[in-house]
């Protein structure tokens, strides 16, 4: 068997979702619109949080970093997807492919622990409100953010290090929308069992540990909410957690469906559709989820606009 190291490959071919030109044009328009909403939504969220002093709290500190992640997350995948929908040449270089994979894993793993940090923030706010300013200090918040990025970097490094050991013999055609782990593993002509186990353990630990953290926080939150006697108090507590719970459900539901399963059960059609959801749709949904039903964000937008009007009048 002729084994060539992956570094000898000059490029891969991304098949994408469909070969139909009419459907590709429709998908291009839809994905471009989603990408524009993603960029505008996440940049807008970051700007509002930075410009309004009343949003300089731990919760919005984490939310600004989540918006930054979603902005980069979408920018790593969507431009190449859009390019492939318009052109007949669907190649991606080896370096660009592995760079895309590195950032995808890095940002995905980091987001898992950002969501855990946000759950911890809600837990402290509801279960220990008097100690909240002390517990969620600037130092603690920065440590949680740095730790999330560090875990994401470690997960991504392990993933790319393992994938770089693969050998390919025949095909360089990736039956996927972007350079993801499962479709590239399926191209290898060497035994991938050890690599699959390592990647599965790392990805599984990331998802499970972060999910356990979120679950423990919300069990404690639910217990505290049930002890609240006033209806308005309960409603306010539930309202505080609703957006985060929705975001967690969508993100983890898609990730578990796609990744926590053996590579042999990889389905081309289902996983390609799922990949579009968590790489294009979720980054668009997050700013909408955390802003549309959030009175503080709406009030902050109004205050920023009002300040702009006043400053223009003074000039």
Note whether residue 7 is domain-resident.
no
Is 315 among the domain residues? no
Whole-structure pTM value: 0.86
pLDDT at 68 over 60: yes
Q: What percent of the chain has pLDDT over 90?
A: 28
Q: Is 231 part of a structural domain of the chain? A: yes
Asked, for residue 157, whether it belongs to a domain, the answer is: yes
Residue 303 lies in a domain: no
Q: Is 305 inside a domain boundary?
A: no
**Residue 97 falls within a domain, yes or no?**
yes
Model confidence at 263, pLDDT cuts 50, 70, 90, reads low
Average pLDDT, the chain: 84
Helix axes 58-86 and 138-163, enclosed angle (nearest 10): 30
Percentages (nearest 5) of helix, strand, coil residues in the chain:
80, 5, 15
Q: Answer yes or no: is 299 within a domain.
A: no
Asked whether residue 236 carries a pLDDT value surpassing 90, the answer given is no
Distances (CA, A) of 269 to 16, 76, 102, 276: 10, 22, 23, 11
What pLDDT is stored for residue 266 in this prediction? 52
User: Tell me: the pLDDT tens digits for 47-62?
Assistant: 988 988 888 889 899 9
Q: At what angle do helices 295-314 and 282-292 cross, to 10 degrees?
A: 80
Q: How would DSSP label each residue in 187-199?
A: T-SS--HHHHHHH
302: its two tokens: 């109004």
The span from the CA of 242 to the CA of 286, in Å, is 13
* CA 292 and chain centroid, separation: 19
**218, HSE (Cβ side, Cα atoms, 13 Å):** 20
- Domain count of the chain? 1
Of 275 and 125, the structure prediction assigns the larger pLDDT to: 125
CA distance 110 to 217: 19
Q: How do residues 213-222 score in pLDDT, each as one tens digit?
A: 999 999 999 8
47 token code pair: 């700007």
Domain extent, residue 280, equals 12-260+269-292
CATH value at residue 219: 1.20.1070.10
Yes or no: say if 178 and 81 are a contact pair by the CB < 8 Å rule.
yes
Tens of pLDDT, residues 127-143:
888 899 999 999 999 99
- Is residue 110 within 8 A of residue 152, CB to CB? The reply is yes
pLDDT of 169 reads 73
Residue 171: pLDDT over 90:
no
């Amino acid at each position: 068997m002729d084994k060539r190291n992956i570094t000898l490959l000059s490029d891969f071919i991304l098949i994408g979702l469909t070969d139909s030109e009419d459907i590709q044009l429709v998908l291009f328009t839809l994905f471009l619109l989603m990408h524009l909403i993603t960029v505008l939504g996440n940049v807008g969220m970051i700007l509002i949080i930075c410009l309004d002093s009343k949003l300089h709290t731990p919760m919005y500190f984490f939310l600004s970093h989540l918006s930054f992640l979603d902005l980069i997350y979408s920018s790593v995948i969507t431009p190449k997807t859009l390019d492939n929908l318009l052109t007949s040449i669907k190649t991606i270089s080896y370096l660009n492919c592995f760079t895309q994979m590195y950032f995808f894993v890095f940002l995905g793993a980091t987001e898992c622990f950002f969501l855990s940090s946000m759950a911890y923030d809600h837990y402290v706010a509801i279960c220990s409100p008097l100690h909240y300013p002390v517990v969620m200090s600037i130092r603690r918040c920065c440590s949680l953010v740095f730790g999330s990025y560090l875990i994401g970097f470690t997960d991504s490094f392990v993933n790319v290090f393992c994938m770089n050991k693969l050998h390919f013999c025949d095909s360089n055609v990736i039956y996927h929308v972007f350079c993801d782990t499962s479709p590239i593993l399926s191209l290898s002509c060497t035994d991938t069992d050890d690599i699959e186990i390592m990647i599965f353990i790392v990805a599984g630990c990331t998802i499970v540990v972060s999910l356990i953290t979120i679950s423990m926080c919300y069990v404690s939150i639910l217990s505290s909410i049930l002890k609240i006697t006033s209806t308005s108090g309960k409603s306010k507590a539930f309202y505080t957690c609703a957006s985060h719970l929705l975001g967690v459900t969508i993100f983890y539901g898609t990730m578990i469906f796609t990744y926590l399963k053996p590579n042999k059960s990889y389905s081309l059609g289902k996983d390609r559709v799922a990949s579009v959801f968590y790489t294009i749709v979720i980054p668009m949904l997050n700013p909408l989820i955390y802003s549309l039903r959030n009175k503080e964000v709406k009030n902050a937008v109004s205050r920023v606009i009002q300040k702009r009007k006043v400053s223009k009048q003074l000039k």
